[in-house]
Chain A
């Protein structure tokens, strides 16, 4: 199995961590979300049904 050849192992290890630590977290952390997490309210709002005629 060529994966068991240890020659490129260190290079692959270093490069993986280099990519994983430098490129990915900025991409992931750049996502921003508009709402703060809020606890669920005790009462669920009641929506009144409406009877608009759909033409």
Chain B
């Protein structure tokens, strides 16, 4: 019984073609590319406003050297936000529930920030392993702890997004099955559960946006330390 609930996350395949290719390639039809028109339509204007304000806010605390990451992080935000939000609709597969995708994004980007730091300012980058004001006796342990926390960052980044989205979809599936089963037997309880489902869906919309934002924010923080 429990296994069938997780089946919604298995990477779908049709006639031998992995459908995740469709799930990854098609959402960008919903994001129109601006043309060179002087005045664009509402959708394009809103998107441009959002991208510009978001990138501005995100890069405020970063040194100028980190600003070259702006196109990458803006693209990544659109990528994750679109995939997360689209996945909330019925029957749409959410590629960001796949650990492979999230780790595949998190590990190279985290590694890039670490390598940039180590290459350009190695002393400063290594200095992060020992916070200021540490008592002398704690130094060896703290260096070990900081090293572990550095290496756990990409894992945490990938697993955070995966787990949040998987758990959300699973809950939606569970509660909607409960509503469906309860409807003939106890309609009042079914209606209450449906209200719960509505609230949960609103929560999941928020989680979809927040988790995408947190991914980008943490990457910008890792970049801030190293650039």
Contact = CB atoms under 8 A, between A and B. Distances in A.
Interface string A2-18: 11111011011101110
Contacts of A19: 24-25, 28, 79
21 contacts: A3-B9, A3-B98, A8-B20, A8-B100, A9-B100, A9-B104, A13-B101, A16-B95, A16-B105, A19-B24, A20-B75, A24-B76, A25-B71, A27-B31, A27-B78, A28-B71, A29-B71, A31-B34, A31-B48, A31-B51, A32-B34
B7 interface: yes
- Secondary structure class of chain A's binding surface, majority of residues: helix
Interface of A: 1-6, 8-9, 11-13, 15-17, 19-20, 23-33
B109 to A, nearest CB: 10
B185 to A, nearest CB: 31
B195 interface: no
Given A30-B33, A31-B34, A12 B9 contact: no
> From DSSP, what is the main secondary structure of chain B's interface residues?
helix
Contacts of A11: 18
B34 A15 contact: no
Contacts of A31: 34, 44, 47-48, 51-52
Interface of B: 6-7, 9-11, 18, 20-21, 24-25, 28, 31, 33-35, 44, 47-48, 51-52, 71-72, 74-76, 78-79, 95, 97-101, 104-105, 108, 162, 166
Contacts of A20: 75-76, 79, 105
Nearest to A1: B6
A15 B34 CA distance: 25
B98 A23 contact: no
Contacts of B6: 1-2
A29 B33 CA distance: 9
Contacts of B76: 20, 24
Nearest to A31: B48
A49 B162 CA distance: 55
A28 B7 CA distance: 34
A17 B9 CA distance: 20
A23 B97 CA distance: 21
A54 to B, nearest CB: 29
A4 B25 CA distance: 22
A12 B9 CA distance: 14
A28 B21 CA distance: 21
B131 to A, nearest CB: 34
Of the candidates B11, B51, B95, the one having the most CB atoms from chain A within 10 angstroms of its own CB is: B11
